[in-house]
Structures are given as C-alpha cells and as structure tokens.
C-alpha cells in the first residue's frame, strides 16, 4: 500500500480546493467537474485502504506519525481502525455526490461553495483519522469554518442566525473538551502525550475522570445533537443549502457519536457507569421527542431534521448500552443515517428546486406526476423507518437488542420510536405523494433528470446492499468495537504503556515544562494484542461476550497517588 495514504486522503480535497481557487468563477462546468474529480480520488484511495484493511485487527492501521510539537507531546498521528474507516468511507462517498448535485442547487458563487465543501471534507476526514487529541481538536474546530460559510453564504433567509447558532452551540461544547484533552495529555505518565494510544488506559482520579468525561460528552452531545441541545440543528438544516444539509446530516452529526466511540468509551471506564445510564435516558427522550416534533412539522426539511434527532438518539442508545451488539449497531446506524438522511435531503432539495417551497401542504398527489421521484422517495422513507431488508433495520435491531440488555425499560420506550418513525414518515409521504394532484403548480413538474438519477442511484443501491448484506461492514468494525469495549470494561491490556498518574496539584504544569525528554514517539502504536479475533471472543459463547460490560476492574480509577513515582 502506498505510504501516507491517509494523509493523501485528507489532503487531496484541500489541494483540490487550492486548485479551484485559481479557476475563474464563470467556468461553472469546469469548476464542478474538477471538484467532483478531485473528490473522487480520496474515494478510490479509501476503497483501497478498505481492501487492504485487516479486519481481524482491532487496533489502528495505516498509521503515520511524525513530531509536531514534541515539547507538549503533540504529534501528527493518524490511522484508522474499523470504525473510523467506515466513517471515512461514508465521507468520501457522500462528498462527490454533494459536489455533483451542486449544479442544481447552487446558483451563485459556485466556486466558493465547492472550495468550502472540499475544505470541509478535509476537516472531516482529518477529524476521523486523527489519533492525536490535539490534532483531532484542530480538525474538529476546522470543520466549523466551511460549514459556517456554507450556511451563512449559500443558505436561506435566516442563514446568519442559523450559522451563528450552529457555531456558538458547537463552541460551547468544544472549549470544555479542549480543556479535558489538555488535562489528559498532561496526565500521561511518561511525559505529556496526546497520542490516543498513550491515553487509552490512562488512570485518572475519580473526580478528574468524571469531569473530563462530562466535558467530552457535552461537546459530543451538542454535535450529535442530543436532546435538549438539539435546537441548533433544525435551524441549520432549514437554512443550509441542500449539499450543506447532506453533509451536515450525513457526516457532521456523526462526529459527535464518533467522538463518543473514540474518546468517551475507551478513555473513561470508571465514569461510564455514572454517565451512560443518563446518556441512554436522554437518547430515548431524543428518540421520542424528535419523532413527535417531526410529526407536526410543516416544512419538509425541518421534518427530516427532527427525524435526525430521533435517529441519532438510537445511535446514542446503542453506544450507551456498552454491549458489543449495541455499539456495532450504532456504528452501522451512523452509516445508514448518513445514507438515508443524505438521500432524503437530496430528494427534498430536488423538489425545492422545482417548486421553491418545502411546505408539505404545497404538495399532494405527486406520485401521479413524478413516479420515479416518488418511488425513490418511498425507498428512502422505508429505509429511514427501518424496514427489514433495507439498511436501517439492521442497525436499529442491533441497537435495541443491545439497549435492551443494558436497560429493558429504556429500550422498550425506545422501541416506540419504531412506531412513531412510521407515523411521521408515512404521514409526510402521504401528504406529499398521495391524494389528488390538485395544485396547478404541481401539474407541470418534471420527473427526475438524469443527473438526479446519477446522484440518487448509488445511495439507493447502498440502501439495499447494506440491508441485505451487511457483512462487509459489520466485519470491518467488529474487532475494533471489541477493542473499544475492552477499554470500556477497564481492562487495560498488559501491553499498554499507560500507568497510573500522580496528580498532586501543579504537577501538570510542571510536566508541561520539564518532562519533555520522557515523551516517547514510536512509529507504530502498540495496541492491546487482540490476537486478531474479536469474533470468536464474544460471539457464540453467551454471557461473556454479549453481556453488559460492567466495570470489572476494582482498582481502576482510584488514583494511586504517588505510587508511580
């Protein structure tokens, strides 16, 4: 495999953006073609990574590492495990489609838009492959800028309000996260290190663990968004242009859930039993609340936005279950939601371009005039409500199964989301597609254009493939999910170099100043040896593998003050 392939995947969109910036604005077709071509490169590179990926290895692969700020233990450190690889694939899959569809939805300043989307792709990919906490944070914040511009420049009427709300909400969460990350990095025993592989298994005091976990959960919960921190989302979606909504729903929201998988679950085994039941409760509130509010929306986009609150509630529920099946279901559902909701926003955008309204009441009887559009919409709708045979079911089923293990009552309430999901989606579908075609404006509508078919076809194909044959995706993530949950159970494998950290006051700053020499940088991460077999370990043996992972390490989390010195 090519060296530095992940770096290339991350960098190519930004380089493409640079290239675009020297092409004149008037050359719309050329601009768009180049953008799509550029975005296709990371897609194919990521496919090659997937092809060469060792699914039996739950650790990080394709790792690249070089010093960045060695004094602080900050490095350029990237790599993927099965979980981040799948989300990378989702990102590089959706972005070209968004760029390609921009011809229909972006009528002004196309160049700036394409540049923004490409920069956003770089930021998203960077966030996903970062294995250094500071690098992660840098990319995390970098995502805000292009998204802010996309909403603020190419958005609807209240775009400024929505854009600022989006940024402010996110920032409120990210600053405490930065503090927590810095704290963690300076509590690494062998000098400051922000490498995730060093931080996993880090021993924190009870209080510190709780606070850091809370800070990071807050940041991620806002991004997801979890109830009651979700109100930025409907505004952002309604104002964002179609492509912005697709990326926002498709990838950006997953950064929150991904953060939980990558940071919260493996880093804070002792805080998990404290927070996860609450996360589960908020997730279930989000599922029901999002569904109920979606039910009474009058604007198509707002309806889909609230449906995201509900769907992401499912994802958080699965993560909070801390069961292998629940977490796997959540990761799968992240992909499904990206595809289904991305497709829904594209479909809403397509009808908006025709009618210049998204009011549900403005439609009715569209099936008669737009059978192809309606059929595509129906498939995506069914995917969204988790019909077996389509992608959404697999994830939802696994999530609820895992959630039921953790707490049957919350899972039972969450299952009502399955009913409510059918209610709001089918009612919307009925009002738009069924009934008489009685509005004059709707009688002249044209069915899908070839370009629109090209955009939708891959999404719909994946909806079927992932529903019928989820194996390649589930196999990719399985070992990584198992590894993550090993950390969550507080079992730090012997190979881990992280040890108990002394934490007398002021030690941290001292460490920042003087322990530079202790900072080790290794080229290869030393992950717990999982003997490449996450399958056998937990699959068919009943209790041990599928059970709820309780914190089983009695001494974990009680700070061993001074012991390590």
Q: Within 10 A of 565 (CB to CB), how many other CB atoms are there?
A: 8
How many helices (H) does the chain have, and how many strands (E)? 25, 2
Among 79, 326, 525, 557, binds another protein (CB under 8 A): 326
Tell me which residues in 498-527 interact with another protein (CB under 8 A).
Answer: 503, 505-509, 512
| 327 counts as binding another protein under rule CB under 8 A | yes
> Which parts of 448-477 interact with another protein (CB under 8 A)?
468-471, 474-475, 477
- Least separation, in Å, of the C-beta of 220 and another protein? 18
78 φ/ψ angles, rounded to the nearest 5 degrees? -130, 160
Task: Round to whole Å and give the CA distance between 441 and 429.
Answer: 19
Closer by beta carbon to another protein, 47 or else 172: 172
Footprint of another protein on residues 227-286 (CB under 8 A)? 228, 231-232, 234
Among 57, 203, 538, 551, binds another protein (CB under 8 A): 538
Binding residue for another protein, selected from 196, 546, 549, 556, defined by CB under 8 A: 546
Pick one of 168, 361, 372, 454: the residue that binds another protein (CB under 8 A). 168
**# chain residues binding another protein, by CB under 8 A:** 92
Q: Please choose, out of 112-120, 126-134, 341-349, 420-428, the segment that lies near another protein by the rule CB under 8 A.
A: 420-428
CA pair distance 268, 224, nearest whole angstrom: 19
Give the integer Cα–Cα distance in Å for 164 and 151: 9
- Residue 64: exposed, middle, or buried by beta-carbon count in 10 A (0-12, 13-18, 19+)? middle
State yes or no: residue 404 binds another protein (CB under 8 A): yes
Three-state secondary structure of 67-87: EEEHHHCEEEEEEECHHHHHH
Query: Which residue stretch of 38-46, 249-257, 367-375, 550-558 sits at the interface with another protein (rule: CB under 8 A)?
Result: 367-375
**Minimum CB distance to another protein smaller for 27 or for 168:** 168
Nearer to another protein, 190 or 299 (CB): 299
d(CA 309, CA 34): 34
CB nearer to another protein: give 387 or 453: 387
**Which residue's CB is nearer to another protein, number 9 or number 83?**
83
Q: Which of 50, 289, 363, 487 binds another protein (CB under 8 A)?
A: 289
138 near another protein (CB under 8 A): no
* 134 and 73 Cβ atoms separated by less than 8 Å: no
Q: How far is the CB of 205 from another protein (least distance, A)?
A: 7
205 lies in the binding site for another protein (CB under 8 A): yes
To another protein, the closest distance from the beta carbon of 23 in angstroms equals 31
Structure token pair of residue 280: 């589960």
Closest to another protein by CB, 345 vs 429, is: 429
Query: Is position 329 an interface residue for another protein (rule: CB under 8 A)?
Result: yes
Distance between first and last Cα of the chain? 42
State how far the Cα of 8 lies from the Cα of 14, in Å rounded to an integer: 10
Nearer to another protein, 259 or 318 (CB): 318
State how far the Cα of 20 lies from the Cα of 66, in Å rounded to an integer: 29
Which structure tokens are listed for 494?
């012997």
Q: Does residue 195 contact residue 525 with C-beta atoms inside 8 Å?
A: yes
Q: 286, 365, 528, 557: which one contacts another protein (CB under 8 A)? A: 365
With both helix axes pointing from N to C terminus, report the angle between 82-105 and 450-468 in degrees, rounded to the nearest 10. 160
3-state DSSP assignment of residue 539: coil
Task: State in angstroms the smallest separation of the CB of 562 from another protein.
Answer: 14
Identity of the residue, 15 or 512, whose beta carbon is nearer to another protein in the bound complex:
512
Token pair for residue 501? 């950290």
Q: Which residues contact 561 (CB under 8 A, 6 or more apart)?
A: 502, 503, 504
d(CA 85, CA 421): 29
Q: Is 436 in the site for another protein (CB under 8 A)?
A: yes
Name the residue nearer to another protein (CB basis): 112 or 286. 286
Which bin fits 365, alpha (ψ -120 to 50), beta or left (φ > 0)?
A: left
Q: Binding of another protein at residue 61 (CB under 8 A)?
A: no
Is 125 a residue that touches another protein (CB under 8 A)? no
């Amino acid at each position: 495999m090519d060296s530095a392939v992940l770096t290339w995947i991350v960098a190519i969109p930004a380089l493409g953006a640079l290239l675009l910036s020297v092409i004149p604005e008037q050359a719309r077709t050329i601009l768009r073609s180049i953008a799509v071509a550029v975005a296709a490169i990371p897609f194919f590179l990521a496919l090659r990574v997937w092809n060469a990926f060792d699914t039996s290895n739950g650790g990080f692969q394709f790792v690249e590492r070089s010093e960045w700020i060695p004094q602080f233990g900050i490095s350029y450190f990237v790599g993927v495990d099965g979980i981040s690889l799948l989300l990378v694939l989702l990102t590089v899959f959706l972005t070209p489609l968004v760029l390609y569809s921009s011809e229909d939805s972006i009528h002004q300043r196309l160049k700036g838009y394409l540049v923004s989307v490409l920069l956003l792709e770089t930021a998203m990919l960077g966030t996903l492959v970062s294995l250094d906490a500071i690098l992660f944070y840098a990319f995390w914040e970098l995502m805000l800028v292009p998204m802010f511009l996309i909403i603020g420049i190419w958005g609807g009427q209240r775009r400024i309000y929505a854009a600022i709300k989006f940024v402010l909400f996110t920032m409120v969460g990210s600053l405490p996260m930065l503090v927590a990350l810095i704290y963690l990095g300076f509590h690494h025993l062998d000098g400051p290190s922000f490498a995730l592989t060093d931080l996993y298994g880090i021993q924190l005091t009870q209080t510190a663990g709780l606070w850091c976990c809370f800070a990071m959960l807050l940041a991620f919960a806002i991004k997801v968004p979890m109830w009651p921190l979700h109100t930025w989302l409907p505004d952002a979606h309604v104002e964002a242009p179609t492509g912005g909504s697709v990326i926002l729903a498709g990838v950006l929201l997953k950064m929150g859930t991904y953060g939980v998988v990558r940071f919260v679950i493996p880093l804070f085994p002792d805080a998990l039993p404290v927070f996860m039941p609450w996360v589960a409760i908020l997730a279930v509130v989000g599922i029901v609340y999002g569904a109920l509010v979606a039910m009474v929306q009058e604007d198509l986009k707002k309806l889909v936005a609230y449906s995201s609150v509900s769907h992401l509630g499912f994802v958080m529920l699965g993560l909070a279950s801390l069961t292998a099946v629940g977490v796997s279901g959540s990761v799968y559902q992240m992909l499904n939601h990206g595809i289904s909701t991305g497709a829904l926003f594209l479909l809403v955008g397509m009808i908006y371009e025709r009618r210049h309204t998204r009011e549900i009441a403005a439609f009715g009887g569209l099936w008669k005039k737009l059978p192809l559009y309606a059929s595509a919409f129906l498939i995506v709708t069914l995917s969204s409500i988790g019909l077996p045979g389509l992608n959404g079911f697999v994830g939802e089923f696994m999530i609820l199964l895992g959630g039921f293990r953790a707490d049957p009552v919350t899972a039972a309430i969450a299952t009502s989301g399955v009913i409510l999901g059918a209610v709001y989606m089918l009612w919307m579908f009925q009002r738009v597609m069924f009934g008489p075609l009685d509005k004059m404006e709707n009688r002249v509508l044209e069915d899908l254009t070839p370009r629109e078919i090209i955009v939708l076809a891959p999404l719909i194909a994946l909806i079927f493939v992932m529903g019928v044959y989820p194996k390649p995706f589930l196999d990719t993530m399985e070992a990584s999910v198992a590894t993550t949950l090993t950390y969550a159970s507080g079992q730090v494998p012997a190979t881990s170099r992280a040890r108990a950290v002394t934490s007398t006051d002021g030690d941290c700053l001292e460490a920042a100043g003087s322990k530079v020499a202790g900072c080790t940088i290794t080229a290869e991460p030393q992950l717990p040896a999982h003997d490449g077999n996450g399958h056998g370990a937990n699959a068919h043996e009943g209790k041990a593998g599928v059970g709820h992972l309780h914190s089983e390490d009695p001494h974990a989390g009680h700070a061993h003050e001074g012991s390590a010195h």
